[in-house]
Amino acid sequence: MNKWLRKSLFVTISILTFGLITPSQLINQVNAEKINDRDSFEAAAPERNFVQSNGFLEESEFNRESFIQDLIKQAENQSYQKFGTRIKPVIENEFREIIFPNIERALEETTAQFPEDNVRNLTITEHPGAGHSEKIFNIKDSVSGKDILRFHVRRDNPPQAGYWFNFHYHTYHDDFQGHHELGSIYWAKNTPPKWMS
């Protein structure tokens, strides 16, 4: 009889909550003191935002501004990862004041060109280039797999001027041929360490 009652409870809860609360969640809350091995290995379900409209609960709409701000934060993190522990302390303040606002502007201008359905497909690459590679990060369309923007930093060594880090980006509009300046930061007369060192 106990199993029949439990199954009936599962079905009733599922129907009443339209699947938003699973019976197993309810039972786990009721029997919180009875943790078994299976419960300890279950992963938490991702959180979703729900709004009520016309009496029904629906998943909340895509927030374009929040998405773009998240993309900008990831760009900042990728940049600092690229600099590594030896370069970052030396150029971090200038990067934040001079270069990063230009990166933000480039990202905002580019995302403004895409309709909302396409903006949500934009992703940032996960790993900057190490060693002597110029790549900081790329923005790509996750559906087509094609790059949209490529952000780079190049080491310049003009005669008698020491080493400079030249930040720039390339865009898909001209097949990545154009060189769009973001700014430069002076390093020193001595050779800078490799990226990510």
Counting other chains too, the contacts that 19-27 makes at CB distance below 8 Å and 24 or more residues apart are 20/50, 20/57
| Count of domains for the chain | 2
The answer to whether residue 90 is domain-embedded is yes
Rounded Cα–Cα distance for residues 29 and 13 (Å): 14
- The domain containing residue 7 runs over which residues? 2-59
pLDDT tens digits, residue range 50-94? Answer: 444 444 444 456 788 999 999 999 999 999 999 999 999 999 999
Co-location of 49 and 81 in the same domain: no
Please tell me what DSSP assigns to residue 44. Answer: P
**Where does a domain end: 43, 59, 75?**
59
Listed residues 14, 34, 59: the one ending a domain: 59
Tell me, yes or no, whether 26 and 117 share the same domain.
no
**pTM of the predicted model as reported, rounded to 2 decimal places:** 0.68
Q: Are residues 109 and 146 in the same domain?
A: yes
39 assigned to some structural domain? yes
